[in-house]
Structure 1
Amino acid sequence: MGRSKKFMYNSITTALLQVVTMVAGFVTPRFMLTAYGSEINGLVSSILQFISYFNLVEAGLSSAAVYSLYKPIADKDHDKINRIVTAAKHFYIKSGFIFVGLVALLALCYPFIASSTVLDQTSIFVLVLVLGVNGSLEFFTLAKYRALLTADQKTYVISLASIVYTILNTIIVVVLSTMRINIVLLRIIALFSIFVRTMILYVYVRVNYHFIRYDVEPDYAAMDKRWSALYLQIVQTVQNASPAVLITIFSSLKMVSVYSVYNMVMSGINGVMSVFSTGVSAGFGELLVKGDKVVFKKAYRDFEYIYYFMVSVIYSITLVTILPFIEVYTKGVNDIQYTSFIFAILFVSNGILYNLKTPQGMLVIAAGLYRETRIQSTIQAAILVVGGIIFGAKNGLTGIMFASCLSNLYRCIDLYFFIPKMVTQMERKATLKNIIITISMIIVSYFTAPQIIKFYPVSLITWVVYAACVSIYCLALISVFHIIFERENFKKILVRIRNMKGK
């Protein structure tokens, strides 16, 4: 199967997964809020963010394993593949036991960190353990399959298995929350859905990679980028988990719930954007190890253009529709105020900055430049943590999200200079032009869309209609601009998409 065909499969299934994940992400918290209230919703969100820090015990294993598998997969070197996969499996098992220990420690400490008026300390202890089991299973079952399939540009298999898991998990949570079953018991029953995903991947790998064996001599040297990759993972974990953790410390569980609702929206949007980047790093990694610079530069130029085009469309729609959605979504939940113009601006700005660096960040992974970016990654993490503490102590969620924006802005500037120098050897002018156009289109869309679409949604159905109208307007506006001022780039992308369908 060619690279374009794999990209198409990966994109379609990732898009489907993101649709399912978004729907599940909107449905599940809504049922949790109405059944258990903001405090329980905030409690679960806070615990999950604490647990996500423990994924650092993976220590860059996934990135190192994927990178080390690019060449042997391209060369069809089955012996090398087996040795790397076996080494990864051994590391994952050791990391899994450390993860379990950290979850047990959190279960002992968390009841004293966050006070709840709804659950007693014993229930909170058990809830932490149950929520930690899901992450533990990732280490012991799923991880070794994910690395192999990602390196082989077959993330569509992972996506399909995850779709089944997400649907099953959502059904369990919705049905049991409607029955007002105890939250701890609900989370225990929901664990069964992850076993289904693991079984699907296990069967697929056994059938399609019949040469895979785990009894060979492990190639630990192939994982030498593991510790350097850890830095990149620290940044990603800090970026995702710090806000909820800092809010838990400086504010309240109800404010964590407010954060989780806005973050739910932005996670869905970032999920949509991941449709255009998932699996791409493996394709670029293959081109880099083959040394095909001409094809690499053309492919990257086209990818960067279309990615920024989609950022401008998706985030224009998001900026216009997020507050009406929050208002409709939290209707009837009156224990804390959810709608806030400042929150909306900060969350969307943070999302834009995060995605503006994605094309360059993807090349850091594709080229395995983990060691070379350690200092920058450390600075990015420090800006968020230190800034979050300084601004969060005084301004709560507003200050923490401002620090997150500063963190992503720094990384955008850093990668803008770093990637052309170290990887692409291309002029920065085209990237800067794409960024300026993207930000300009988002601003223009935000100020003009409400002038064209003159009604305000008051229910979920009217919001869907409103969002559809906004989407059509933003896509038309931005497309017309590109047809007029970026005609050649726009035509190249249309040709690439048409060729992709024909392959």
Structure 2
Amino acid sequence: MRTKRLVLNLMSNVLLQVVAAVINFILPRLFMTTYGSATNGLVSSIKQFLSYLKIVEAGVGNASIVALYKPLAKGDKDQINGILSATNRFYRRSGYVFVGLVAILAICYPLLVGDEVNPRTALYMVLILGISGMWEYFFIGKYLVLLSADQKSYVIFRIQTMLLFASALLSVTLIAFGFSIVIVVASSSAILLLDVLFLRLYVKKKYPYFNSKKQANTLAIKDKWDALIHQIASLVVFNTPFILITIFLGLTEVSVFTVYSMVFNAVTLFISTFSGAILAAFGDILVKEDKDVLRKYFNHFEYIFYGIIAFSYTCTAILILPFIKIYTAGIEDANYIRPWLAILFVIVGVANTIRIPANTLVNAAGHFRETKNRAIMEALINLVVSLVFVQFFGAEGILLGGICSYGYRTYDLIIYSSKKILQNSPKDTVKKIVQNSIFALTAAIPFIFFIELHITSAGSWLVAAICISLWTMFILLVGNFIIEPQTMRDILVQLKRTTTNSK
């Protein structure tokens, strides 16, 4: 059952990320060409500010998911309802605070962006996007927690994929008919709110005992404050760039940063689908205290994962600037061709994704309290270095801040997960990283020194992408088979067994 759900979660998440990536490439381009770079920057900037306001969630989601692993494994319905009742209660309290903060942001944000966009447009956009954010607190939070903990994230992913596609289709149609950005965003956001109907129907059918009005078991999610610290730290690390650029560099520069982020977010999301699909499975193994199975499972997970990172970022490093040139062709109100920005984004992306396996294990184990000081340190490093460097290097300086904080936290997470959870040496993890780094560099060298790419259109870029992808995949597979033949054979056997069992 665990294997079947893992495959369903993985495939559904991959589909969602592919759809999201395609949409995230199409809509910003339409926003820039139709409304201008400043308006595109406005949408991205407001989303990042609203992400900061989500700290009012107070770590309830992550803490509740971890708390549900054991009662779900035992089929303890009273305990499940008690935890979900507490979750629902905390979410509603957070929702009221979130609404108040959105109202304050709606008043203050137009003053922050000055005359780059119409103040009334900025006000309306904050309110519209804020309504979408409050939906989770009042209506769907408890459903998301239950399905995630029960390894049924594929249900969430499928609903999100369907609604996201419908929302994007409506946005493109409205833009084509000349509607304002406010109408476009409001209409597309309204469609995404329909997820509550589908989630409620599914939970009512599959969990007939579900009752979030039972006596709340607040003690079961006592770790929510420690989870909150991690959440705040993550917000500082991942959302600070857009906030600082909005304040110090303006909305046009936010648009430039958004275009590069769009590419690298798509790569990171593609890579992260594997960790997201496997998170609940790790939680199930940890609850049953099967250390040997955990070590074997995690070793194979890491091996595949670092190979995917090497493949993804090698291809991205080679193809990013030709893509940006084609994507922003005809847009003259900002400088989008920034080689140093591209290089720094690649380094940040690699440093960030390398830690995903270890971070996935820490989250599955619920070690929020034990690692909260480390998360705070990462946030402080990121904020301080970014604040200093943005003054001298602009957007590139913010990425330097990210490299410093990711470097510290990635190293720390690998050490912690190896010693405290897996109870083995981190040398195996480091070895995998070094091996795949060497293979990635081997694949990239011909394009750095010998082969000059002549890409002038989307068609020629696609042909180059296919060729580079095949070449990189060949080098990685051959290299890993030569260095670790037995491990590669074990992984292939496991993949074959997983595919057979999932049918």
Instruction: Normalising by structure 1, report the TM-score.
Output: 0.97
Aligned equivalents of 2:455, 2:92: Cα separation in 1 = 50
Aligned equivalents of 1:74, 1:122: Cα separation in 2 = 51
2:356 to 358, 364, 371: 358
Q: Aligned residue for 2:161?
A: 163
**In the alignment, residue 446 of structure 2 is paired with which amino acid?**
T
Give yes or no for the alignment of 1:464 onto 2:462: yes
Are 2:63 and 2:227, in contact at CA under 8 Å, matched by a contact in 1? yes
Provide the alpha-carbon RMSD of the alignment: 1.3
Q: Aligned residue for 1:378?
A: 376
Q: Aligned residue for 1:330?
A: 328
Q: Aligned residue for 1:16?
A: 15
**In the alignment, residue 499 of structure 2 is paired with which amino acid?**
K
Aligned equivalents of 2:155, 2:447: Cα separation in 1 = 38
Give a deviation string over 1:57-87, Cα, whole Å, max 9, x none.
1111110010000000000111110111111
**In the alignment, residue 30 of structure 2 is paired with which amino acid?**
F
Aligned equivalents of 2:363, 2:200: Cα separation in 1 = 26
Q: Aligned residue for 2:480?
A: 482
**TM-aligned CA distance change 1:90 to 1:434, over 3 Å:** same
SS of equivalent residue, structure 2 residue 100: helix
Aligned equivalents of 2:108, 2:452: Cα separation in 1 = 51
**In the alignment, residue 475 of structure 2 is paired with which amino acid?**
L
Aligned equivalents of 2:117, 2:223: Cα separation in 1 = 46
Q: Aligned residue for 1:321?
A: 319
Q: Aligned residue for 1:302?
A: 300
Q: Aligned residue for 1:143?
A: 141
Are 1:266 and 1:347, in contact at CA under 8 Å, matched by a contact in 2? yes
Aligned equivalents of 2:282, 2:184: Cα separation in 1 = 42
Q: Which moved more, 1:367-376 or 1:197-206?
A: 197-206
Aligned equivalents of 2:303, 2:417: Cα separation in 1 = 16
**In the alignment, residue 484 of structure 1 is paired with which amino acid?**
I
Give yes or no for the alignment of 1:282 onto 2:280: yes
Give yes or no for the alignment of 1:32 onto 2:31: yes
1:238 to 230, 236, 249: 236
Instruction: Normalising by structure 2, report the TM-score.
Output: 0.97
Aligned equivalents of 1:59, 1:447: Cα separation in 2 = 46
Q: Aligned residue for 2:91?
A: 92
Are 1:154 and 1:279, in contact at CA under 8 Å, matched by a contact in 2? no
Give yes or no for the alignment of 1:115 onto 2:114: yes
Give a deviation string over 1:12-57, Cα, whole Å, max 9, x none.
1111111101101101111111110101001111111111101111
Deviation at 1:345, TM superposition (A): 0.8
Deviation at 1:443, TM superposition (A): 2.3
Deviation at 1:11, TM superposition (A): 0.8
Q: Aligned residue for 1:411?
A: 409
Aligned equivalents of 2:235, 2:50: Cα separation in 1 = 10
Q: Which moved more, 1:222-231 or 1:437-446?
A: 437-446
Deviation at 1:103, TM superposition (A): 0.7
Aligned equivalents of 1:13, 1:449: Cα separation in 2 = 34
Give a deviation string over 1:139-192, Cα, whole Å, max 9, x none.
212211111011001111111011012101111221112223111122211122
Give a deviation string over 1:466-502, Cα, whole Å, max 9, x none.
1111111110111111111121111111111100011
Matches within 5 A, 1:187-206: 187-206=185-204
Aligned equivalents of 1:296, 1:4: Cα separation in 2 = 14
**In the alignment, residue 24 of structure 2 is paired with which amino acid?**
G
Identity over aligned pairs, percent: 36
Runs of 4+ displaced beyond 6 Å: none
Aligned equivalents of 1:27, 1:124: Cα separation in 2 = 22
Give a deviation string over 1:366-391, Cα, whole Å, max 9, x none.
11110111111001001111111000
In structure 2, runs of 5+ residues without a counterpart are none
Deviation at 1:450, TM superposition (A): 5.7
Aligned equivalents of 1:97, 1:446: Cα separation in 2 = 51
Aligned equivalents of 2:245, 2:134: Cα separation in 1 = 25
Q: Aligned residue for 2:265?
A: 267
SS of equivalent residue, structure 1 residue 291: coil
Aligned equivalents of 1:118, 1:291: Cα separation in 2 = 56
Matches within 5 A, 1:24-103: 24-103=23-102
Give a deviation string over 1:284-316, Cα, whole Å, max 9, x none.
111111111111111111111111111111111
Deviation at 1:282, TM superposition (A): 1.3
**TM-aligned CA distance change 1:116 to 1:473, over 3 Å:** farther
Matches within 5 A, 1:189-228: 189-228=187-226
Aligned equivalents of 1:116, 1:172: Cα separation in 2 = 29
Are 2:419 and 2:425, in contact at CA under 8 Å, matched by a contact in 1? no
Aligned equivalents of 2:252, 2:143: Cα separation in 1 = 38
Are 1:69 and 1:84, in contact at CA under 8 Å, matched by a contact in 2? yes
Aligned equivalents of 1:115, 1:470: Cα separation in 2 = 44
Q: Aligned residue for 1:446?
A: 444
Deviation at 1:112, TM superposition (A): 1.0
Deviation at 1:102, TM superposition (A): 0.7
SS of equivalent residue, structure 1 residue 153: coil
Are 1:363 and 1:419, in contact at CA under 8 Å, matched by a contact in 2? yes
**In the alignment, residue 147 of structure 1 is paired with which amino acid?**
V
Aligned equivalents of 2:191, 2:455: Cα separation in 1 = 35
Deviation at 1:454, TM superposition (A): 4.8
SS of equivalent residue, structure 1 residue 277: helix
Q: Aligned residue for 1:342?
A: 340
Give a deviation string over 1:348-374, Cα, whole Å, max 9, x none.
111111111111101110111101111
Are 2:12 and 2:158, in contact at CA under 8 Å, matched by a contact in 1? yes
**In the alignment, residue 91 of structure 1 is paired with which amino acid?**
F
Deviation at 1:451, TM superposition (A): 6.3
Aligned equivalents of 1:495, 1:449: Cα separation in 2 = 34
SS of equivalent residue, structure 1 residue 335: coil
SS of equivalent residue, structure 1 residue 278: helix
SS of equivalent residue, structure 2 residue 336: coil
Are 1:150 and 1:279, in contact at CA under 8 Å, matched by a contact in 2? no
Q: Which moved more, 1:345-354 or 1:279-288?
A: 279-288
Aligned equivalents of 1:123, 1:252: Cα separation in 2 = 16
Give a deviation string over 1:113-136, Cα, whole Å, max 9, x none.
1123442x2221121111111111
Q: Aligned residue for 1:250?
A: 248
Q: Aligned residue for 1:369?
A: 367
Give the length in aligned residue pairs.
Answer: 501
Are 1:31 and 1:178, in contact at CA under 8 Å, matched by a contact in 2? no
**In the alignment, residue 198 of structure 1 is paired with which amino acid?**
V
Aligned equivalents of 1:425, 1:241: Cα separation in 2 = 33
Aligned equivalents of 1:250, 1:462: Cα separation in 2 = 38
2:393 to 392, 395, 404: 395
**TM-aligned CA distance change 1:451 to 1:388, over 3 Å:** closer
Are 2:272 and 2:356, in contact at CA under 8 Å, matched by a contact in 1? no
Aligned equivalents of 2:213, 2:355: Cα separation in 1 = 41
